[in-house]
Each structure stands twice: as structure tokens, then as C-alpha cells.
Amino acid sequence: MSENNFKVVNKRLEKIDSLSLACGKPMFCDDIDIKNMLYGKIMFSPYPHAIIKNIDVSKALKVKGVKAVVTYKDVPRIPHTTAGQGYPEPSPYDTYMLDKKVRYVGDRVCAVAAETLEACEEAISKIEIDWEVLEAVFDPFKAMEGKIIIHDEDDSKNIPDAKHNIAAKVPDLVMLKNSEPFSEAEYVVENTYEIPYLQHCAIEPHTTITYLDDYDRLIIRSSTQVPFHVRRIVAQTLNIPLKKIRVIKPRIGGGFGSKQEILLEDICSFLTLKTKRPVKIEYTRKDVFVSSRTRHPAVTKLKTGVKKDGTITDMELDVTLNTGAYGSHALTVLMCSGSHTLPMYKVKNNLKFSGRSVYTNLPVAGAYRGYGATQAFFALESQMDIMAEKIGMDPVEFRKRNYIKLGESSPVFKAMGEGREGVDQSITSIGLMEAIDRGLKEIKWYEKKERYYRLNQKSEVKYGLGMACMMQGSGIAEIDMASATIKMNEDGSFNLLIGATDLGTGSDTILAQIAAETLGVELNDIIVYSSDTDITPFDVGAYASSTTFVSGGAVKKAAGYVRDMIIEDASKILKEPKENLKVESKYVVSKTGKKVSFKEIANTAFYYHDQHQIIASASHYGRTSPPPFAAHFAELSVNTRTGVVDIINYVACVDCGTAINPTLAEGQNDGAVVNGIGHTLSESFEISQNGTVLNANFRRYKILSTKDISEIKSIIIPTYEPEGPYGAKSVSEIGINGPLPAIANAIYDAVKIRLFKAPFTPDKVLKALKESK
């Protein structure tokens, strides 16, 4: 397609901030020194469920250097959600800046601002509290019984069933009913799959600095994925006018969803308003584990029906999510577990989704790369292999036969969006067949299967291969909006102002590539400035895999308008009709051979004639959310003496439409895959009897290191998505959905044991091996 003619898009250009970051430039939130700054520190709850009967901060206030100690009595009580989502947020308004009640070990109790961190810590140690300790509940199924109610306050809003601790629910959603359920199925498979508490582990902890500028406006400098949502929600929770707030996002050290949240900005701002001084709150690594956000632990029940000829007749997915003490993202993650997975395969007769997100007195779950799809694909893709074996069909053929093809649609698209009804769409680009075939070839699937079958007969270490197919979305259709402004400078360079949030993903770079392609210039002719609520136009922020598809769409539009203005001016300068003209390499060239440079056009516009600034803004939102698709292949060994699983080879082939920058797309995929492998083999919270996270540090919650990965290969399968800028779809989330099922399938291939509970640690594997004998 047209990708062969791209000059900037689809090129492996260096990310514009790479070299500066490699030279250690001070670009992150905490890398500035502000005069007169105070340190802020939050006191966290030692109890999983308790009421503050009395809180006495008088001794704390007397500590040298302490400038403020605030409790629930000092702050406005405004129910809100911390979820960084578009307004009106589809999450319950069940959170308060500070409350009289605490609902998990790690919940906010009160906050201190002081000259030094030591003074903060000393002040916190001197706060005296009379607690009424309440009984706590940690298991979602128990919580649903309603004996202990976590949100019994009467001012919270949008909680579907607080009496039974239900933060969100989707009652039986029947999307297809052509027969009596399972009546035509020749085999019925029903299993339950579980994943535990998992944390994003972005290497930069959450950090926020707030201060008042010379106009007494509140400036928030924060490591956030959602600057515009921060502005709105801080205005809401502090009850101050939105126009008094400016949010600036510096470079962020990773987010993966944990920073799609208004976590520190409200309380930090409050301390600044109270003390009239700059305040910095920086989470420790332990705070990040316990008191930021996590993935939703899930119990996923999948019941499917299949016929010998390979037809999937019925599919019933039921998801129970543990949302922790507050319902941030409770509904949307729940819905995505269905909306981003169920369209994957054609189901003949019956398709049903049901689910609920349940409150417990545990750390709060929120947005995490994959967003529900990760949990559900573990179930779906494991079950595809189970069904294939039941009917005696090659699991590769079984998937190829059944996945949704180009031009086809699914009733899921209309029925399930993210938080509300979705948008009907059909598949407008898909490279899954090529992804599967390429992956099979790359990992030498059939050749190795044969070799391992023989080898495994006599070896203590057994080898296996497994695969998984997956999809995600590209932004939230009809909801996510982005905008961009582009202005021309007299040397032919351009300023690109975008609300879009680069969290290390490289969105600044790829959006500049899109602008450069449209304008006929080079990447380094585009000067990018992003994520400043005063200066850049609106963007929902970095989530839902929306930046390339939605923000890219806005940038392409704005660049198109600017290009039109340039051509308009050139037409007057060259005295040629516009139809003859096009942009090329910083010139406007005519069919007739005449040309004029951008420099001359801009100077003419600024200084000489009919003076004006060449500038344009545009907005964009997706009418659809075209899914990226991927096929993953895992080759591993299982040591039957120790239960240790070692990944030998992992191939991830992804169709993301046009990869605006193939190096960055591969990088996103690599990172998502390794993160997913970490989920599969190592990561999980360890929680005590009283709801305390016991392994809240990198020493005990182990993410993978260089020694844990052997061969990881990401392969981009090019397709062209007509709805996306230059054919692009999204890529940043999908990769994390593959490892759990691909590895579960490979383990089954190696040792014929089926694991249903992540992570697949040596003790679990060895136990399953022993029980199977």
C-alpha cells in the first residue's frame, strides 16, 4: 500500500529525547530544585478497616519544621473518583481526599508538610489516634455476602450495590442467543482461571510538586499520564475554579496505567494552598506497591462449547474482579475483559458475558496495561488449546478457522464498550494469519514439536511450545478525544503543541513523525511541546492505547490544515493554481517546475504581505476502535526435578497497522511481553492475614532482570488501517496479553499439566506434576 512512499512515517528514527535521557539530563519531575520547598508526607493506615474516633495532631504541629498537618476535618469532603477518565467518569465516586474511615492497610489517614522529610516522619509518629477497629474482608466472594460493608457512607455516588460491596457489575449480558445454550455442543469445557495482585513497577515512583505562581495560580508538576483529568479532578476535590490550575507533565519514568490516576495531586495541592509554599510529595517504593494502584486480581470462569468440526458453539465468560478498597476503573476494566477478548473468535449460537468488581479491604486496583483483557485472555487462549485437544484438532488450525476475519463484525462491539455500550464496527484491518504463519516459521514450531516429543521421553527436563492469539483496542470509540495545534516559524520549522502524554512510549516522536510526513519536512523540523494544560490543547491522556490512533488523527488533521494554508500562500507567491502544488522537502513545488521554499513562504506571511501566522488546530476522536492483533509463541523447558520453568524463546508477531516508528513499536512489544512473562513466572503480592502487603519492595516482589530473559523477538506485521493516521493502529498494550496463556499452553505441551493459577512458580509446577502421577 502507500507505506512504500512514506518519507518519515514507518521509519526507524531516533526518539527525540533518547540522547538527552542517555546523558542524564534533568528531565523528570524530581529533577528540579525549587526554593522554599516543603516536603509532604502522607500517613498511611495500619488497619485494613477502621474508623478514626479521635485524632490529635497537636504534638505533631509542635515538631520543629512542621508547617501543616491536615486531617479529614481540614479538607473539603467531596466524593470523587481518582480514576483518570473522561467526564463523567464511569467509576464510582467513592473516594475522599481524607476520610474519617480507612478501608485498607495503606489508605490515607492524614498528611504533613514540613521543611525536611525527617520532620515529616517525626510529626507522623507523634499523631495520636483513637481507632475503632472494624472487621475486615479480603476475599471478594466473601465480601459479596455483605456481612461487612466497606462503603457504608451515604454521600458516595454510583455504587451499584454498596450493601454487597459491588463497585461495578454487568449482569448477564446476552449478546447472541440462537439456541438453547450448549445444546449443539459436542464437548463442553468449563474452567476457572485466577490471577493475583500485580503491580506495574514503573521504575520512577509517583512524584508530585505543587506551587503557586506569581499570579497565585496553582501549578501542578506531576508524573502523570492524564494532565487534563488531573486539572479537572483537583478543581473538583479542592473546590477551586479550574482556571486557577495549570498542570505540567515533565518526562515520566514509566506508568503502565499506575499514573492514570489522581493519586497525589489533590493532597499536595491542598498543602500548597494551605502553606502558600511549594510542596513535594514523593512516594517511596513501598508506598508505590501498597498505596498507588495495582492490577485487578481476577477469578475468571469460562464455559465454552465446541463441535468436532471445530465450530465454537457457545461461550460464557464470567469475571469477578477484586477492586480493593475503592472502585477506580472498576467498571471499565470489567467491561474490557469482555469487550477486548470476546470478539476474537466467531461463536455460532450463544455468547454471554457477566461480571462484577467487588470491594475488599485491600490495596486499590486500577488501570494496568491490558486492562482486563490480560485476565480474560489467560482464560480464553488456554481454553482454545483445551478445546482443540478435545476435538483432536491442531490448536493452530483451530484458531485459524475461528478468528474474526477482515470485514466481519461481532455483536460484542455494539454491546460492550468501556463503561457503557460500545460502538458497532467491523474489522477493517487484520494481519493475524500472517502473524501466525510468521511466528510458526520463526520459532520452528512443527520441527521442534516433533523433536521435543522424542526428546521428552527420556529427559528430566521437558520441552514444550505453546501459542496464543490476542487483540486489544485503539482508543475508546466515540469517547476519547485528542487535539493538536501546529504553528509555522519563519525558518520553515514548526511547533507542534499536543495534549498527548508521552510516558516514555515515544508519543512525542511518533506524533512529530506524522506531522512531518504531512507537511513534507523532516522529523527535526518539528519542535514538540506536550502535556501542559495552559498551552497545549486537550487530550484525554495516555491510556486505552489511544495516542497513536486518536492523537495521531488529530495531528494529521492539524498538519493537513497547515499544509493547506502553506499551499494557499504559495499559490499566491508562485501565481499558480493550488491544484498544481504539493509540499515536498520543505518546498512547495508545482507541476510546472516552479517552487518556493517554506522559509520564503513563512517570511512573506510574517513580514511582507497580508501578514498572518500560519497556524491551525484540529481535534479528533475515533468513530471506531480498530483492534491490533497479535500471535505469540513460547518455547520453554520444565525441569521435572525442581518445577522451574525456563523460557527459551518467545516470538511475538503483532499487527498494529502501519508502525509509525518500527523501532519504538518493537520496543513497546518487547517490554509488554517481558512484563507479561514476569506476571506468569514470578510476580504476585503476598498478603498477610490482616491485609498487609508483605513483599512491597523490589527485593521480594521480583520483576524480571536481564538474566531471566533468553530470546525475545518482536516482529511487526504490516497492514494498513484505513481509520488510522497513515494506516496506524495501537501497539502499547496488546503484548502483555500473550505470555500467560502461551506459557500455560507450552507447559501443557511439555508435561501435560494444566495450570489455572498464576504465577507458575516452581512450587506450583512441582505440586501439579506430583498430583498428575
Partner 1 sequence: MNNIKTVYIPQNIKEFSSVFSKKSLIMAGSTYSFKSFEKDKELKEIVSINNLPLKYIKKESNNIVIGALSTFDDIENSNLCQKHFFGFLSHASSYCSSQLIRNMATLGGNIAHPNAFNIMPVVMETLNGKLKVFDGKKYKILSLSDYYNERNKVLITEAMIPLKYDKNLFYFEKISRTKTSWESYITFSFRADVKKTKINDIRLVFGSVKAVPLYSPEIEKEMVSRDIKDINVEEISKKYSDLIYSVASSHKYSEYRKEVTYNTVKGFLKKIFGR
Partner 2 sequence: MKKLLKNKEGLIEIGFRLNGTEIKTSVKPNETLLELIRRLGYKGTKKGCDTGDCGSCTIIIDGIAKVSCLLPAFYAEGKEIITIEGLGDVSNPHPIQKAYADSGAVQCGFCIPGMIMTTKFLLDRKPKPSDSDIKHALDGNLCRCTGYVKQIEAVKIAASKINKK
Q: Which residues contact partner 2 by CB under 8 A?
A: 12, 14-15, 17-28, 30-33, 200-205, 251-254, 256, 284-285, 503-506, 663-664, 666-668, 670-675, 697-699, 703, 705-707, 709, 712-714
From the list partner 2, partner 1, none, partner contacted by residue 681 (C-beta under 5 to 8 A by kind) = partner 1
249 or 563: CB nearest partner 2: 249
Question: Please, which residues bridge with residue 488 across strands?
Answer: 494
**Comparing C-alpha atoms, which of 544, 551, 678, 548 is closest to residue 257?**
544
Q: What residue type is assigned to position 345 of the chain? A: Y
Q: How far is the CB of 118 from partner 2 (least distance, A)?
A: 9
- Among residues 667, 678, 686, 675, the alpha carbon closest in space to that of 731 is found at 667
In the region spanning residues 93 to 122, those forming contacts with partner 1, defined by CB under 8 A, are: 118
- Name the minimum Å distance from CB 385 to partner 1: 25
CA distance 478 to 614: 30
Q: How many residues bind partner 1 (CB under 8 A)?
A: 22
Q: Is 461 in the site for partner 1 (CB under 8 A)?
A: no
Which residues 262-291 are close enough to bind partner 1 by CB under 8 A? Answer: none
Q: Are 296 and 375 in contact (CB under 8 A)?
A: yes
∠ CA(361), CA(362), CA(368), 5° rounding? 135
- Does the protein bind partner 1 through residue 509 (CB under 8 A)? no
Cell representation of residue 32? 528540579
27 vs 78, beta carbon nearer partner 2: 27
Q: Which of residues 12 and 451 has its CB atom nearest to partner 2 in the complex?
A: 12
| Residue 420 within binding range of partner 1, rule CB under 8 A | no
Dihedral of alpha carbons 273, 274, 279, 280, sign: negative
With CB under 5 to 8 Å by kind, the binding choice for 18 among partner 1, partner 2, none is partner 2
Angstrom CA distances, 253 to 31, 227, 229, 611, 706, stand at 12, 15, 19, 43, 19
CA of 427: how far to CAs of 476, 628, 721, 734, in Å?
Answer: 15, 10, 9, 17
Decide if residue 65 touches partner 1 (CB under 8 A). Answer: no
Supply the minimum distance, in Å, between the C-beta of residue 507 and partner 2: 11
Please identify, among the stretches 164-172, 215-223, 409-417, 757-765, the one whose residues bind partner 1 according to the rule CB under 8 A: 757-765
Q: Does 18 bind partner 1 (CB under 8 A)?
A: no
Helix (H, G, I), strand (E, B), or coil: what is residue 148?
Answer: coil
Pairing of strands 187-195, 101-102: unpaired
Contact 99, 280 (CB under 8 A): no
Please report how close the Cβ of residue 204 comes to partner 2 at its closest, in angstroms: 5
Residue 708 in the binding site for partner 1 (CB under 8 A): yes
Rounded to the nearest whole angstrom, what is the least distance from the CB of residue 208 to partner 1 in the complex? 25
Cα separation, 652 vs 772, whole angstroms: 31
Least distance (Å) between residue 726 CB and partner 1: 40
Among 644, 648, 712, 715, binds partner 1 (CB under 8 A): 644
- CA distances for 7 relative to 495, 521, 523, angstroms: 20, 9, 10
Residue 689 binds which entry of partner 1, partner 2, none, CB below 5-8 Å type-dependent: none
466 is a contact residue toward partner 1 (CB under 8 A): no
Residue 256: name its binding partner from partner 2, partner 1, none (Cβ under 5 to 8 Å by kind).
partner 2
30 versus 184: smaller Cβ distance to partner 2: 30
Query: Residue 408 phi/psi, 5° resolution?
Result: -85, 160
773 binds partner 1, rule: CB under 8 A = no
Q: How many CA atoms lie within 13 A of 675 on its CB side?
A: 26
Q: How far is the CB of 506 from partner 2 (least distance, A)?
A: 7
Residue number, 504 or 759, with CB nearest to partner 1: 759
284 DSSP assignment: -
- 699 in contact with partner 1 (CB under 8 A): yes
| Span of 236-244, 476-484, 559-567, 759-767 interacting with partner 1 by CB under 8 A | 759-767
Q: Which of 155, 137, 250 is nearest to 204 (CA)?
A: 250
Min separation Cβ 637 and partner 2, Å:
17
Q: Which of 178, 191, 603, 682 binds partner 1 (CB under 8 A)?
A: 682
Torsion over CA: 147, 150, 154, 159 (sign): negative
User: Which is nearer to partner 1, 479 or 693 (by Cβ)?
Assistant: 693
Instruction: Work out whether 584 is an interface residue with partner 1 (CB under 8 A).
Output: no
| 44, containing H or E segment | strand 38-44
- Angle (CA) 160-165-171 rounded to 5° is 45
Minimum CB separation from partner 2 for residue 439, in Å? 16
Coil, strand, or helix at residue 362?
Answer: coil
Residue 709 main-chain phi, psi, to 5 deg: -110, 140
- Give the Cα separation of 642 and 460 in Å (integer): 10
Contacting positions for partner 1 (CB under 8 A) = 118, 460, 641-644, 681-682, 699-700, 702, 704-705, 707-708, 759, 761-763, 766-767, 770
